[in-house]
Amino acid sequence: MTVSRPVPPPIDRWMNPVLGYAARDVTDAARAAWDEERRALGLVRSDADLILSVDVTSWPSVLSDEQQVIVASPGDLELQDLCPNLEKLREGLTSIWCRERPPPCWIVAVNVLTANWGEPERAAWAHPHWVYYFSEVVPTKLDPSWSCLGYDVADDGLFSSMTTMGGDRHEIPRIRREWSRHLNCYNLFEDPRSAWEYKLFSDRWIKEHAPFFVYGLWQVQVHEAI
């Protein structure tokens, strides 16, 4: 029996789609990964507490590479550690740890904000392979009960310009003076409009990764024990 999959709307009709779900580390190890040197080189707000990001190299998954296979997309396409199916992620966590207590983690949803997109932004997501990927995303919309953690700016591979700042290092002090006041304690923007302005700046500053995008991070569940 063939199961029909919903076909996503054309890219010009996208409205802030959910990209997937992840189980991210909130243990002391996640904080310890950001020592003083790494903060000085990478963060827009260097005094942020727990560093959150869509970029799994900046905010690590609670899952190992081997465990990630259990919750991954059934297709060939991967978007860092995002799992397109929320329930599959939850079931995977249960399967991985069985009766053992898992490390503390937050289950988060990631969506991409599509307001103000132009041709460069649409072109980055226009490849046909995304049609299959988005047909796997469940649920496809944010739940009103989920808490907004803030907004990140990253390229289409989810590599953040707010935690792995490239470009001219002499620009970092000016960037911090101009942008850090707009960030919360997680090194995320609180206002998507400010995030969009930083996205435009990132397009100019780190041209090899342009265009950048604004992503929302949403806390779905605090996962302390199964």
Tokens 């189980």 — which residue? 23
Please check whether residue 4 lies inside any domain of the structure.
no
DSSP H helices, 63-206, are 65-71, 86-97, 119-124, 129-135, 172-179, 192-205
Please check whether residue 152 lies inside any domain of the structure.
yes
What pLDDT is attached to residue 8? 61
Q: Considering the entire predicted model, what is its pTM?
A: 0.91
Taking only the tens place, the pLDDT of each residue in 199-217 is: 999 999 899 999 999 999 9
Q: Using the predicted structure, report yes or no on whether residue 66 has a pLDDT greater than 70.
A: yes
Total of domains in the chain? 1
Taking only the tens place, the pLDDT of each residue in 161-179 is: 999 866 667 778 889 999 9
Please check whether residue 101 lies inside any domain of the structure.
yes
Please check whether residue 7 lies inside any domain of the structure.
no
Please check whether residue 126 lies inside any domain of the structure.
yes
The DSSP output letter for 1 is: -
C-alpha to C-alpha distance for 59 and 215, rounded to whole angstroms: 14
Provide the residue range defining the domain that includes 118.
14-223
Please check whether residue 2 lies inside any domain of the structure.
no
